[in-house]
Structure 1
Amino acid sequence: MAKLQYQCTMSLDGFIAGPGGDMSWLAAHLGPDPTAERIMRQTGALLVGRRTFGGDDPYKGTEHEGEPYGGGWDGPQFVLTHHVPDAPVPGVTFVTDLDSAVTAAKAAAGHRNVGVLGAQVAAQCLRAGLLDEIYVSVVPVLLGDGTRLFDHPGGTRIRLEQLELTQTPGAATFVFRVLR
């Protein structure tokens, strides 16, 4: 059965995107990473937030601009949105409600994981009790502002169990199980 796994890279101060959704900071931290490559192989479909899907691209200006994980992954994408575009996008299904999006992404993923991309869609999955794991690569940069890994005004406590920690020269990567 497919697991829902929030997948992201985060600055040391807790941001997955800079101010205004800026992702240019990430380009300096992209490179060979055996853990990330394994996670991509284990991912059968993506569940993506609309702002993430249409947002800034760390691969902007390269041959892999607009490709998930810079061309390192290929498969079906399900974009959660309130406004389905008129023109279809190859390989992308736009879905207007979380339950339908999760059901479709899990069916498409088969025995592999569903990679959840975007802080808001991940938070929705957490609130609904649907998120199984968090994969986060922490890189050595401070952004000072932007989109947090997880933001819940007023606070809430989500218990996690660490499953894995790997280190490369440029990152510490964690995999956590969401405890319910």
Structure 2
Amino acid sequence: MAKMLYSVTMSLDGFIAGPGGDMSWLTEHLGPDPTVDELIGEIGALLVGNRTFRGDDPHVGTDGEGKAFGGGWTGPQFVLTHHAPSAPVPGVTFVGDLGSGVAAAKAAAGEKYVNILGADVARQCVETGVLDEILVFVVPVLLGDGVRLFDHPGGTNVRLERLSLTHTPQATSIWLRVVR
């Protein structure tokens, strides 16, 4: 069965997007990364938050604009929203609640990962106990403000076990398993 993975690039001070969801900071940190290349082949479906789906694109102005992983991945996407657009979007299914989104994405992913895109969706997955793994690419920049990797004021500790730690010129990646 598919595992739920939250993979994300983060500034050293813990932000995955700048103020207002700005993703332009990420553009200069995109580049070849063996961990990303390997991960892309292991993703069977995406579970995406509405703000992430409609938000900034670090690939703007390139051939990868509007495409998952800058065009490096194609497959079924499930967007969690209460306000689906009236016109269909090819390859995208809009779902109204986390439970049905997780179920549909897992069914579509088969034995591969469901990759979560969006801090709020990841937070919901942690809170409901469906998140299996986290892969964080830490890049050498301080943003100072924006969207945090995980924001849950007053929340409880979530125990994690490190699976791997790798370094490239672009980032240090930390792959973790949620301990249940």
Which amino acid is 1:5 matched to?
A: L
Deviations along 1:13-47, one digit per CA (max 9) or x if unpaired, are 00000000000000000000000111111000000
Which 4+ residue blocks in structure 1 deviate beyond 2 angstroms?
none
Corresponding position of 1:62: 62
Task: Give the Cα–Cα distance (whole angstroms) in 2 for the partners of residues 144 and 155 of structure 1.
Answer: 22
Structure 1 residue 86: Cα displacement: 0.8
The count of corresponding residues between Structure 1 and Structure 2 is 180
Task: Give the Cα–Cα distance (whole angstroms) in 2 for the partners of residues 155 and 100 of structure 1.
Answer: 24
Deviations along 1:116-141, one digit per CA (max 9) or x if unpaired, are 00000000000000000001100000
Tell me, yes or no, if structure 1 residue 149 matches structure 2 residue 153. no
Corresponding position of 1:26: 26
Corresponding position of 2:49: 49
Scaled by the length of structure 2, the TM-score of the pair is 0.99
Unaligned runs of 5+ in 2: none
Structure 1 residue 156: Cα displacement: 2.2
Corresponding position of 2:173: 173
Task: Give the Cα–Cα distance (whole angstroms) in 2 for the partners of residues 125 and 161 of structure 1.
Answer: 17
Tell me, yes or no, if structure 1 residue 85 matches structure 2 residue 85. yes
Scaled by the length of structure 1, the TM-score of the pair is 0.99
Task: Give the Cα–Cα distance (whole angstroms) in 1 for the partners of residues 179 and 111 of structure 2.
Answer: 21
3-state SS, counterpart of residue 13 of structure 1: coil
3-state SS, counterpart of residue 94 of structure 1: strand
3-state SS, counterpart of residue 6 of structure 1: strand
Please tell me the root mean square deviation across aligned C-alpha atoms, in Å: 0.6
Which amino acid is 1:12 matched to?
A: L
Tell me, yes or no, if structure 1 residue 99 matches structure 2 residue 99. yes
Corresponding position of 1:39: 39
Tell me, yes or no, if structure 1 residue 123 matches structure 2 residue 123. yes
Task: Give the Cα–Cα distance (whole angstroms) in 2 for the partners of residues 74 and 112 of structure 1.
Answer: 13
Task: Give the Cα–Cα distance (whole angstroms) in 2 for the partners of residues 35 and 121 of structure 1.
Answer: 23
Q: Is the 8 A contact 2:30 2:170 kept in 1?
A: no
Corresponding position of 1:137: 137
Deviations along 1:32-77, one digit per CA (max 9) or x if unpaired, are 0000111111000000000000000000111110000000101000
Unaligned runs of 5+ in 1: none
3-state SS, counterpart of residue 78 of structure 1: strand
Which amino acid is 1:74 matched to?
A: T
Structure 1 residue 169: Cα displacement: 1.3
Identity of aligned residues (%): 69
Task: Give the Cα–Cα distance (whole angstroms) in 2 for the partners of residues 146 and 113 of structure 1.
Answer: 27
Deviations along 1:87-115, one digit per CA (max 9) or x if unpaired, are 10000000001110000000100110000
Corresponding position of 1:7: 7
